[in-house]
Structure 1
Amino acid sequence: MMKKNILFLCTGNSARSQLAEALMRHMAGEHYLVMSAGTKPEGVDPRVYQVLAEQGVCADNLQSLSASDVHDQHFDIVITLCDKASNECALFADSDALIHWDFKDPKPVAGVDSFRETFEGLRDRIALFLMLNGEAQDSVVGPVELFKIMSDPLRLRILMLIEDEQALSVGDLTKVLDVSQPKVSRHLALLRDGGVLQDQREGLWIFYRLADHLPVWIRHTLSTVRNGNPGMINQEKLKLTQITDRKKPGFSLKANNQVGV
């Protein structure tokens, strides 16, 4: 995998962006070349070194740079960490991705606790970023296509049931959704042809499950919708338990259990 250049940008390049630079290097390994800069650099706050040392994160080569000094470099991703820096994105207009994470400046607060809180917030945000961007994004399903698919109530319930159960047959879906088998089949075919689901035959039964090569960001989206709306498919789940002759798949579903690993 080719390394990507990433720049963290804030006003002073003295606290938030320095913590983010060190953390990204620590957590991403060799997958990213990481830098940070500021619109009005002030020098690295000593509390940055203290917190990084507490967490066992290397602080080597941290320095305060001006955004104007690096504006002629190409960065694949520019992440701004304050509103003022966000207004300077025009300096990096050729970047592939411009992202804004708004973090409160920890410097005005006395002591180190505010820096520890910023460190923890950045660690969580970077962990999510790496999880969702740790693979080649070659899927034909983009955000617009995904949300169009999910905008249909029946397709959304199908996806939530399969996300929850991991694999379901056409017959089981027909029984719990109270719609005709041809209608369920049409929606399943659309989801399969769109690259979200795949089917697998087992004897006389055909099961549908999330596609093996579904990008992590889509799996994460589906999981978030399901867990954020736990009562969405209560009635369907209850009906599944009442199917006495329900056929369970015998194939491995390990490929569908990647979110949160």
Structure 2
Amino acid sequence: MKRILFLCTGNSARSQLAEALMRHMCRDSAVTIGQFEIMSAGMAPESVDPRVYEVLNYHNINADNLTSTLASSLQDQHFDVVITLCDKANKECALFPDSDALIHWDFKDPKPLSDSQGFYDVFDGLKAKIALFLMLHGDNQSDTIGAVELFKIMSDPLRLRILMLIHDERALSVGDLTKALQASQPKVSRHLALLRDSGVLHDQREGVCIFYHFPADLPQWIQHTLDTVRNGQPALINQEKIRLSAIKNRKKPQSIN
């Protein structure tokens, strides 16, 4: 089980919303249920702002047992992830030097505002951040490669286009990739071998053809990165897709979904 700590200055608004919301979202997800222990704390704790309860009650989220906790009282405990929610707390994250990850989500303090709208806005922003966090960290996925290695792989234009083509087609043979990319077979094969050895692609033989595809347990953060590139740069492989569609009697794998 991973231990998550939301850290803020007063532990009276943003971090309380984050703690209650993430617990609620974890309970609602079959993927993340039981995988996280979630807490919050503050550098100078204050009482929980009544508008926190208003927002949580509006969204039917359990607001029981919310209490302000002094961050220094937790510094001897290990947290897998510490998420700071204001700039001041971000400067104090050295309290938890053994944490596996320190993340900063900067949200404007809603307490100085006279009404509750700022609290609703913080809630909506936190919901989007937490949903992405849980999507990327919620399930037990294989350790393929790290971010540095992935971006090195994607920095090569030919490898990037290979990944984008397989993203669209689900699986492609060496021959089809060679025709679509207008590159030599040895060159394409070298890049495919690198992608396979890194764990980003798997290969599978069917008859005389070898097809390359993404593994079923590809980590969500890698899948999300590929999805973002494909949708953010939709014209990247236009010509390659046109050439691919022009291949007559193109063989497709039977056992790769």
User: Fold match, TM over 0.5?
Assistant: yes
Paired AA for residue 20 in structure 1: A
Structure 2 unaligned regions, length at least 5: 28-33
Q: Is the 8 A contact 2:141 2:217 kept in 1?
A: no
Matches for 1:82-121 after TM superposition, within 5 Å: 82-121=86-125
Paired AA for residue 247 in structure 2: I
Task: Give the Cα separation in 1 of the matches to 2:48 and 2:16.
Answer: 7
Q: Which residue of 1 aligns with 2:155?
A: 151
Q: Which residue of 2 aligns with 1:14?
A: 12
Residue by residue over 1:119-144, the C-alpha shift from the partner in whole angstroms, topping out at 9 and shown as x without a partner, is: 11111111111111123454241111
Q: Which residue of 2 aligns with 1:169?
A: 173
The total of aligned residue pairs comes to: 251
Q: Which residue of 1 aligns with 2:219?
A: 215
Task: Give the Cα separation in 2 of the matches to 1:219 and 1:95.
Answer: 26
Task: Give the Cα separation in 2 of the matches to 1:128 and 1:230.
Answer: 22
The Cα shift of 1:71 comes to: 1.7
When the two chains are superposed, the root-mean-square deviation of aligned CA atoms in Å is 1.3
Q: Is the 8 A contact 2:4 2:82 kept in 1?
A: yes
The answer to whether the aligner puts 1:248 opposite 2:252 as a matched pair is yes
Matches for 1:1-261 after TM superposition, within 5 Å: 3-29=1-27, 30-136=34-140, 138-253=142-257
Instruction: Give the fraction of aligned pairs with identical amino acids, expressed as a percent.
Output: 68
1:123 counterpart SS class: helix
Paired AA for residue 17 in structure 2: L
Q: Which residue of 2 aligns with 1:256?
A: none
Q: Which residue of 1 aligns with 2:31?
A: none
Structure 1 unaligned regions, length at least 5: 254-261
215-224 vs 24-33, which moves further: 24-33
